[in-house]
């Protein structure tokens, strides 16, 4: 390895370490602020994370009204139980965990047998295939994709089993690590990896079909 390559490698490792340290410090600062009920902190967190939270809820429920209700309840839970956040993980990991738990609570109230049943709306033709979540800060995927690509991916995601869809959303839209996804879903790391692999494989036929259809129109 040449000198330049070695230096780049060292700087990259240093930069990653610095970024990780900043994230850890920010998480601890948020935890301390929530414990003290720091004025204005909740408003700042809502502004920063509202779009990501709503996107997560919309993808999982496929229903705007349900997502809106859960959105409000999640932030109420953050307000009343913010002292439980210890800062050992990123705030968004804790936030998505709350959202998922409240989704499961809703499922239990409706006496459903599985998480998937929460999103079943009858025949596949009745399932919503597209919607928009206002977001001034698009995910990395959205920044790199055309509008048409995003619509195709959104449609394909909604056709997947909910557990696969959730892992794909958390990994590629929200950029959570596999370990963080395991914490949110309370699943073993091996299960998260399996769901990610199976979800990606399940999306391929839908995307290939869409791409073929697009080429035929050209």
Q: Residue 35 is part of a domain; what is its CATH number?
A: 1.10.1740.10
Please write the tens of the pLDDT for every residue from 132-143: 444 445 554 554
- Residues 124 and 142 grouped into a single domain: no
Please report whether residue 133 resides in a domain.
no
Count of domains for the chain: 2
Q: Which residues are CB-contacts of 49 (< 8 A; sequence separation ≥ 6)?
A: 91, 92, 95
Q: Establish if 116 belongs to a structural domain.
A: yes
Q: Are 52 and 81 in contact (CB under 8 A)?
A: no
pLDDT tens per residue, range 174-204: 889 999 999 999 999 999 999 999 998 888 8
Domain-located, residue 148? yes
Domain of residue 210 covers 138-218
pTM over 0.85: no
136 or 42, which is more confident: 42
- 27 & 123 share domain: yes
Q: Which of 97, 128, 159 corresponds to the end of one domain? A: 128
- Range from 66-80, 97-111, 176-190 carrying the lowest mean pLDDT: 97-111
């Amino acid at each position: 390895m040449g000198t330049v390559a070695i230096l780049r490698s060292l700087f990259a490792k240093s930069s990653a370490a610095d970024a990780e340290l900043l994230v850890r410090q920010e998480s601890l600062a948020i935890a301390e602020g929530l414990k003290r009920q720091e004025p204005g902190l909740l408003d700042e967190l809502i502004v920063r994370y509202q779009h990501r939270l709503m996107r997560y809820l919309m993808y999982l429920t496929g229903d705007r009204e349900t997502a809106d209700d859960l959105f409000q309840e999640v932030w109420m839970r953050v307000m009343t139980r913010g002292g439980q956040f210890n800062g050992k993980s990123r705030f968004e990991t804790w936030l998505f965990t709350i959202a998922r738990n409240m989704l499961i609570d809703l499922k239990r109230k409706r006496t459903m047998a599985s998480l998937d049943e929460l999103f079943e709306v009858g025949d596949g033709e009745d399932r919503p295939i597209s919607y928009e979540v206002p977001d001034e800060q698009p995910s990395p995927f959205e920044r790199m994709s055309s509008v048409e690509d995003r619509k195709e991916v959104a449609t394909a995601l909604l056709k997947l089993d909910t557990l696969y869809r959730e892992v794909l959303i958390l990994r590629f839209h929200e950029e959570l690590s596999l370990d963080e996804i395991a914490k949110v879903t309370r699943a073993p790391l091996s299960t998260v990896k399996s769901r990610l692999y199976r979800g990606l494989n399940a999306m391929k036929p839908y995307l290939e079909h869409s791409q073929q259809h697009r080429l035929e129109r050209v």
